[in-house]
């Protein structure tokens, strides 16, 4: 089974290391936030039809100036060299957010190194603002002798400036666990350039004048250099799923094919929208992905196929059965995910209503039908359901001009009277034909087995990208630890 985890990757890394300290992953690629101090939001169809979009934060690329202290102290116990390096740069006046970022990355990369097979490879995607610091961290963790390449990913598009040279590249640091690493150059050969072939032919002929020795290029092309020209995805690219910082599949395909063979295990502990996962799946590699955003987990599940959950891959961190669903409903675990979020945004692919305590519904979906925008309101109940609550939701659907309403609760709370009232509300029609009941009761038990209410699919892209500058200021104060 392939594995998809919702949660803090440090917790998951520690758990995996505890289970297997000898290493079992063949390739780790990570594309962590770049310490750019931005909030990455996704744009949704707004419930207010006068406003076309609503925003919700997908993740914040900001780093606490305090929360890293526990990790720094832990590094003192597990790797004194990392600890000493971080202490030293803390004393030279770089910003607290940079120290926090580097400490946060250091402890995670330390555990990733431990989880690699002896023949495994590690690729760290970063930008020039942090790559020099991150390389020192990796040199300490992997040892400098196991540094393989600094790959420069160049692209068109991106930043431009009237005062500076335009930013047109990222950096990918490549390391191996040992000198006995896997590399498959024949999997990634690219065509020669005609002028390059001519230069090689001339050079070989000039060096051996009077002989018949002529340079013969490999029939499948050359092994790429460490300079990779892959364009970033534009807004209309069919590959784009709309998640912030999405990378092109061609980039991941080269990395995976270069360092693994079929059925090897590929892991991405900052998997975002799941490009690593999608490419690994297509190339018949086993995979493992982790992300702290439940929106990312939802998107990856959609990308791989929700019907494959528990058949070809498992999701950890979300309820898998009725007992764990009740635990979340009762907030037994006290985690960062709320029951309503799980139901609305993961199970029903909807949008959580941030003002749900004021507006009488927990979430919504939109779709186009009958020549206009239609709204489906969603209400989620984690415990006992009264007839007053059910009736109030039906009234809310009417008051908000909702086309349909989905009422979600545990099966034991559904009564015969609720079914009768729902049935009496009639049906929603598309082009004069009955599509489904206007008010539908969906049980948690049904949703867990992927038995969904009948809702028209929206053709609108759910995730879109917007970057908003964080108002958090970058302090230059040095902590005295």
369 φ, ψ (degrees, to nearest 5): -160, 150
Burial of 247 per CB tally in 10 Å (0-12, 13-18, 19+): buried
> Where residue 254 falls among pLDDT bands split at 50, 70, 90?
very high
* Beta carbons within 10 angstroms of residue 210's beta carbon: 6
351 token code pair: 């949008």
- Which pLDDT value is given to residue 225? 94
Mean per-residue pLDDT for 145-158? 89
Residue appearing with tokens 């519904």: 361
- Which pLDDT value is given to residue 131? 92
Locate the domains of the chain by residue range: 2-188+223-317, 323-467
- Which pLDDT value is given to residue 175? 98
- Which pLDDT value is given to residue 159? 64
- Which pLDDT value is given to residue 250? 94
For 383-398, how does the pLDDT look when each residue is reduced to its tens digit (9 = 90+)?
999 999 999 999 999 9
Least-confidence region, from 63-77, 85-99, 203-217, 412-426: 203-217
Burial of 476 per CB tally in 10 Å (0-12, 13-18, 19+): exposed
112 token code pair: 């990733």
> Where residue 474 falls among pLDDT bands split at 50, 70, 90?
very low
For 64-98, how does the pLDDT look when each residue is reduced to its tens digit (9 = 90+)?
665 788 899 999 999 999 999 999 988 888 888 88
Least-confidence region, from 204-218, 231-245, 395-409: 204-218
Beta bridge partners of 368: 373
* Beta carbons within 10 angstroms of residue 152's beta carbon: 16
Q: Where are the alpha helices (DSSP H) in 208-318?
A: 249-259, 275-282, 294-304
Mean per-residue pLDDT for 283-296? 93
- Which pLDDT value is given to residue 181? 96
Greater model confidence, 81 or 46: 81
CA 75, 77, 80: angle at the middle one, nearest 5? 65
Task: Give the right CATH number for 323-467 from 3.40.1350, 3.30.1330, 2.60.40, 3.40.50.
Answer: 3.40.1350
21 token code pair: 């300290």
> Where residue 415 falls among pLDDT bands split at 50, 70, 90?
very high
> Where residue 476 falls among pLDDT bands split at 50, 70, 90?
very low
- Which pLDDT value is given to residue 149? 97
**Measured between alpha carbons, how far apart are the two ends of the chain, in Å?**
44
Say what the pTM is: 0.85
Least-confidence region, from 183-187, 358-362, 384-388: 358-362
Residue 178 has pLDDT above 90, yes or no: yes
Residues with Cβ < 8 Å from 415, sequence gap 6 or more?
Answer: 387
| CA quadruple 160, 162, 165, 170: dihedral, nearest 10 | -20
Helix axes 80-90, 96-115, angle to 10 degrees: 170
Domain topology for 2-188+223-317 = Rossmann fold (3.40.50)
CA dist., res. 270 & res. 458, Å (int): 28
> Where residue 481 falls among pLDDT bands split at 50, 70, 90?
very low
102 φ, ψ (degrees, to nearest 5): -65, -40
Q: Which long-range contacts (CB under 8 A, 24 or more apart) does 329-335 make?
A: 329/382, 329/383, 329/410, 330/382
- Which pLDDT value is given to residue 479? 22
Cβ–Cβ < 8 Å for 26, 283: no
């Amino acid at each position: 089974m392939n594995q998809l985890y919702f949660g803090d990757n440090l917790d998951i890394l520690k758990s995996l290391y505890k289970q297997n300290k000898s290493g079992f992953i063949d390739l780790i690629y990570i594309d962590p936030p770049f310490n750019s101090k931005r909030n990455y939001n996704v744009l949704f169809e707004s419930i207010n039809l006068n406003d076309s979009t609503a925003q919700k934060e997908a993740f914040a690329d900001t780093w606490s100036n305090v929360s890293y202290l526990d990790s720094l102290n832990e590094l003192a116990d597990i790797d004194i060299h990392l600890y000493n390096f971080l202490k030293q740069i803390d004393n030279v006046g770089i910003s607290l957010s940079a120290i926090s970022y580097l400490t946060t990355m250091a402890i995670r990369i330390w555990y990733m190194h431990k989880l690699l097979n002896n023949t495994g490879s590690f690729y760290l995607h970063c930008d020039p603002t942090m790559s020099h610091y991150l390389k020192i961290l990796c040199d300490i963790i992997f040892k400098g002798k196991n540094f393989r390449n600094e790959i420069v990913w160049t692209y068109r598009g991106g930043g431009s400036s009237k005062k500076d040279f335009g930013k047109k590249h990222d950096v990918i640091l490549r390391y191996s666990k040992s000198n006995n690493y896997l590399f498959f150059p024949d999997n990634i050969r690219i065509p020669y350039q005609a002028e390059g072939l001519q230069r090689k032919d001339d050079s070989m002929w000039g060096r051996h004048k009077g002989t018949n020795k002529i340079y013969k290029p490999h029939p499948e092309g050359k092994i790429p250099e460490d300079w990779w020209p892959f364009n970033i995805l534009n807004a209309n690219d069919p590959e784009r799923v709309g998640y912030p910082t999405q990378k092109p599949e061609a980039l991941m395909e080269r990395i995976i094919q270069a360092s693994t063979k079929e059925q090897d295990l590929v892991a991405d502990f900052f998997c975002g929208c799941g490009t690593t996962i999608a490419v690994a799946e297509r190339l018949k590699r086993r995979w493992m992905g982790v992300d702290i955003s439940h929106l990312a987990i939802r998107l990856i599940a959609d990308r791989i196929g929700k019907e494959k959950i528990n058949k070809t891959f498992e999701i950890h961190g979300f309820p898998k059965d009725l007992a764990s669903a009740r635990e979340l409903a009762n907030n037994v675990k006290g985690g960062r995910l709320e029951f309503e979020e799980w139901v609305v945004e993961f199970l029903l692919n909807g949008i959580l209503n941030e003002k749900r305590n004021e507006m009488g519904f927990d979430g919504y979906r939109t779709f186009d039908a009958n020549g206009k925008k239609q709204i489906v309101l969603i209400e989620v109940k984690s415990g006992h359901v009264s007839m007053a609550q059910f009736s109030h939701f039906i009234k809310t659907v009417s008051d908000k001009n909702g086309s349909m309403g989905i009422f979600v609760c545990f099966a034991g709370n559904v009564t015969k009277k609720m079914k009768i009232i729902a049935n009496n509300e009639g049906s929603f029609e598309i082009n004069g034909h009955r599509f489904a009941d206007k008010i539908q009761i969906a049980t948690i038990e049904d949703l867990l087995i992927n038995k969904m209410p009948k809702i028209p699919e929206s053709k609108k892209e759910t995730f879109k990208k917007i970057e908003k500058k964080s108002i958090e200021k970058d302090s230059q104060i040095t902590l005295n630890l």
